[in-house]
Amino acid sequence: METISYTDARNHLKELIDRVGTDHTPVRIERRGGSAAVIMAEEDYTGLQETLYLLGNPANAERLRQARARGEEDAVSLEDAKERLAR
């Protein structure tokens, strides 16, 4: 994760917000002698909160893990998909 100074973040706040919103890459902001913060796109933050909520329930987390495993088992490579579509 990229880290920038508080001064740089303050001086380039608009560009920073535009970049994290476009690139979906969070940026760590540090202050000399103070605590650090992370700025990220609101969409990414919302997704992170939803994921934490869903995984916070052990039964739900297990169902999600099983569904993901089934999806990986059923995965088809791009080459196989092209071959199947060509038939």
Coil, strand or helix: which one is 65? helix
Per-residue pLDDT band for 85 (boundaries 50, 70, 90) equals confident
Q: Please state whether the predicted TM-score (pTM) of the whole model is above 0.85.
A: no
pLDDT of residue 16: 98
C-beta separation of 78 from 86 below 8 A = no
Domains annotated on the chain, with CATH: 2-40 (3.40.1620.10), 43-86 (no CATH)
Per-residue pLDDT band for 48 (boundaries 50, 70, 90) equals very high
Region 18-23: mean pLDDT is 96
Coil, strand or helix: which one is 44? helix
